[in-house]
Amino acid sequence: MEAAGPRSRDARGRAASQPGSRAEKSPPERKVYMDYNATTPLEPEVIRAMTEAMQEAWGNPSSPYPAGRKAKEIINAARENLAKMIGGRPQDMIFTSGGTESNNLVIHSVVKHFHKIHAAVGGTAEHPSPVEGALPHIITCTVEHDSILLPLEHLLEERVAEVTFVPVSKVNGQAEAEDILAAVRPATCLVTIMLANNETGVIMPVPEISRRVRALNQQRAAGGLPGVLVHTDAAQALGKQRVDVRDLGVDFLTVVGHKFYGPRIGALYIRGLGELTPLYPMLFGGGQERNFRPGTENTPMIAGLGKAAELVAENCEAYEAHMRDVRDYLEERLAAEFGKRIHLNSQFPGTERLPNTCNFSILGPQLQGRLVLAQCRTLLASMGAACHSDHGDRPSPVLLSCGVPLDVARNAIRLSVGRGTTRAEVDLVVQDLKQAVARLEGQA
């Protein structure tokens, strides 16, 4: 498989001078990138699609002349590719600036819809509404991305909504369907649970949650209660395993391009947009995206997103098999090199996880993840979520939520392999980690 990730080349960075001259420099050390859960490089085909769009489809997509029509065609084709990737309909896809906007748009919409429906239905003195005086209630779990957790915390602080943060199981790392359903109240309007966790790779039981919410909604309708919508942030799962909205049974699904070798924009799937599932714009303007997300479309980025989605739809099984093979080899090599000193933080008995993710700790008082990575000369990786990179030695809240002990969580390193990662690179990384540990323990 042709490597798509960052690569070191002997020629890169060499001085142009003749051997033996004073200006001669040694070649830079080989670097191996293993932080594909943070972001991925653009596939060459994606770059080509974006470049062609910039050159040939520079017109306003709303304009009737050729460059505008070409832009509109590219946008429509990208929408179809996105829909195909997730098993949805093109008319149910809206382009956004990224995962953060998509997630916020879902939260904004369900809160707005709750108030609109409550105002329309209302109640009387003799027959008060079952949710009279209640705030909209949203259920999520404790290991969500900040683009879910922080908007919900803000709504809670502003007394705009009530929120239940369901802890994940310390046995399997999942938000369990039973716990989610137990948190439902009369005013519950949304359940939002990520499809796969970015730090542990644990896959959440979203199909089961959706199925049980649908059954519950039938009972709620009979009692005059509002239906509960289900959203999943699929940022980490797309491009690593098959994702199909029909199997998931969700009403909303968040797409993030830069997690599957596409550009840094995103999309939102809305089941039966405007018919079955409500969506309320946060922005108002020129009417693009059927008024749900106005603003002149960014044709080159959309072209790249569409091409990235097309590649996933065509090659996902091969991507998944390759990443699983390399990740499993990585864990074998870590166990062989460090023995009982390795604690695999992302392995939970009987729980599925992403094929590319390995979260581990090397046990030892001087081996905090940040210090080990700082000593590495080959490995490029992180302790966990990129958005928490400024938290110093504070252990990951995700790992603590999953029951990983404090001293183990503090030493955590997350490695995530990509489409082009090789076993030879794994060998380099494990040797690099071994030398980093030796340097740290030699300083003690």
Q: Which residues are catalytic?
A: 387
Phi-psi region of 12 (alpha: psi -120 to 50; beta: other; left: phi over 0): beta
The residue whose two tokens read 């590719």 is 81
Other Cβ atoms less than 10 A from the Cβ of 335: the count is 14
Query: What are the backbone dihedrals phi and psi of residue 240, each rounded to the nearest 5 degrees, phi first?
Result: -115, -20
Other Cβ atoms less than 10 A from the Cβ of 186: the count is 15
The type of residue at 66 is P
**Residue 30 structure tokens:** 């080989």
**Residue 89 structure tokens:** 């309909």
The answer to whether 97 and 265 have CB atoms below 8 angstroms apart is yes
**Residue 52 structure tokens:** 């062609």
Q: Shortest CA distance to 421 belongs to which of 34, 111, 24?
A: 34
Alpha-carbon span 315 to 66, nearest angstrom: 33
Q: Shortest CA distance to 330 belongs to which of 440, 439, 428?
A: 428
